[in-house]
Amino acid sequence: MSFIRNILNSRTPEDGNFFLQLKEILGFKPKTKSFYIKAFTHRSMNIKDELGNAVNYERLEFVGDAMLSAVIAAYLFEKVPHGDEGYLTKMRSKVVSREHLNKLGEELNLISLVQSRIPVSNFGNNIHGNLFEALVGAIYLDKGYNVCEKFIYRSVINPHVDIETLEGKVISYKSLLIEWCQKEKNTFEFQVYEDTGNDELKHFSVKLSINNKIVSKARATSKKKAEEKASKRAFFAFQNQITGLH
Amino acid sequence: MSFIRNILNSRTPEDGNFFLQLKEILGFKPKTKSFYIKAFTHRSMNIKDELGNAVNYERLEFVGDAMLSAVIAAYLFEKVPHGDEGYLTKMRSKVVSREHLNKLGEELNLISLVQSRIPVSNFGNNIHGNLFEALVGAIYLDKGYNVCEKFIYRSVINPHVDIETLEGKVISYKSLLIEWCQKEKNTFEFQVYEDTGNDELKHFSVKLSINNKIVSKARATSKKKAEEKASKRAFFAFQNQITGLH
């Protein structure tokens, strides 16, 4: 084993550093170590279990992929309340794209933990994402959904998922809306008035009319914010027509 | 509202029977009722929340679909240890097929709970599966993954998922293997011997050779079972070549 380790310069489960490095990545102590050993065993090791089934990380990818999809789905459902099913599906596929998963696996340097008889330099780029998926699968099997979800928040959602970026780096819905109205020769008008209501803070209410018909209303602590909010609402109401612009 | 209810002959949340019937389907008492009301609100009701976002079951389908995929993935990972990623993916797609989900939703008579301005008789068949997915999504959001998983076991896996049926109604791997050997002009031999080992029960061990090379071994409490087990192992080892037969 030490022969292989030397060739590949990787950490193996026999090497105490494997679980030390893993614990740092996970943020918790593994319970059933065999799941993680499997998650970092390449098929070239040609290991079989007592039933003759291959022991490597490939099947764990299937579980990890499913858990990533589930956690990201629930997250987007909450964070993107205006998006319909198709829109949410598109956003999710950006988060769990092969390219993004490869980046995640590479950042965690998961490849340094792989046991393989093929030098890691021979692997294509997808090994990073595959190992990341397998690791997520191992976490689910070891500790259940809630710990797995926490890991996905810690390693994917919190550092990497920005809803506005996913939505296509829209800076101002107001400017998008105005651009669209001008192009389509629609008239538009923002009617803003101070409206403290029952709040202590000063508030502004706005009515946005397109072709003299009120299409959205909003309320916020500044005139600018209220206009932006009303524009965003109108934007999503007219989404299909407006996105035809880009 | 009673006018709509009468037309559609469905139960609405205003009707006490809605939550009675729902509780029976769920097997537990809902905590946040609004998720379930949404799960049975058709878009034709044209309801918006305070932010102007549509309130109907369509977005919940996205969450339910993801949870079904995750729970079934973890189940198949454990139950089909010989299946690789592609095989598990195929098996899962049979379980969560549109046709199967429609059947599940229909059996639970979910359509009787829908609030809609369009008569339910106008809906296509997919509404059954869509409602089932939305209900699973509502359960996840209301009670979390573990309760959602339990519901999926109770309503999908336990009553409807049979691994052998999913694997293509294979009755005897031995006969499939023999059929393949004969077609390919391979010789085969089962060497069976009694082998009690350390067990109290009498056991039989078998070695299966193809072209005079041992390809699998198995051990069981009868000669027939041991042969079948060895055949199954060989079958999955040669899977790609054998399934070319069918």
CATH number of the domain that A87 lies in?
Answer: 1.10.1520.10
At residue A12 the predicted structure's pLDDT band, cuts being 50, 70 and 90, is confident
When pLDDT is cut at 50, 70 and 90, the band that residue A7 belongs to is very low
Q: Is A133 on the interface with B (CB under 8 A)?
A: no
Could you tell me if A155 and A95 lie in one domain?
Answer: yes
pLDDT at B6: 39
The full 3-state SS of chain A, as one line of letters, equals CHHHHHHHCCCCCCCHHHHHHHHHHHCCCCCCHHHHHHHCECHHHCCECCCCCECCCHHHHHHHHHHHHHHHHHHHHHHCCCCCHHHHHHHHHHHCCHHHHHHHHHHCCHHHHCECCCCHHHCCCHHHHHHHHHHHHHHHHHHCHHHHHHHHHHHHHHHHCCHHHHCCCCCCHHHHHHHHHHHCCCCEEEEEEECCCCCCCCCEEEEEEECCEEEEEEEECCHHHHHHHHHHHHHHHCHHHHHCCC
What local confidence, expressed as pLDDT, does residue B4 receive? 44
Count of structural domains, chain B:
2
Of A104, A138, A165, which residue sits at a domain end? A165
> Which of B130, B163, B196 is the C-terminal boundary of a domain?
B163
Both B152 and B184 in one domain: the answer is no
What is the reported pTM?
A: 0.71
Q: Cβ contacts (< 8 Å) between A51 and chain B: which residues?
A: 81-82, 233
Q: Binning pLDDT at 50, 70 and 90, where does residue A245 land?
A: very low
pLDDT at B185: 87
- Ranges A22-36, A99-113, B161-175: which has the least confidence: B161-175
Whether residue A16 sits in one domain with residue A103 = yes
Domain that holds residue A191: 173-243
Q: How far is B218 from chain A (nearest CA, A)?
A: 9
Q: Per-residue pLDDT averaged across A77-87, rounded?
A: 92
The CATH number of the domain holding residue B185 is: 3.30.160.20
Q: End of a domain among A136, A165, A194? A: A165
From chain A, the residues in CB contact with B59 under 8 A are 77, 83-85, 88
- Chain A residues with beta carbon closer than 8 angstroms to that of B60: 77
Q: According to the model, what pLDDT value does residue B195 have? A: 79
Burial of B42 (0-12, 13-18, 19+ CB in 10 A): buried
- The answer for residues whose C-beta is within 8 angstroms of residue A106's C-beta and 6 or more apart is A128
- Looking at residue A171, its pLDDT comes to 61
In a domain, B183, yes or no: yes
Pick out chain B residues at pLDDT < 50.
Answer: 1-8, 245-246
Give yes or no: residues B114 and B191 share one domain. no
Q: Do A62 and B85 touch (CB under 8 A)?
A: yes
Confidence of residue A202 (pLDDT cuts 50, 70, 90): confident
> B35, B63, B91: which to substitute to probe chain A, counting the most A Cβ within 10 Å?
B63
pLDDT of res. A222: 83
Residue A68 shares a structural domain with residue A143: yes
Claim to verify: residue A151 and residue A181 sit in the same structural domain = no
Residues A177 and A158 in one domain: no
Whether B168 is covered by a domain: the verdict is no
B34 within a domain of the structure (yes/no): yes
ipTM: 0.70
pLDDT in tens, A221-239: 888 889 988 998 888 877 6
pLDDT given for residue B246 in this prediction: 38
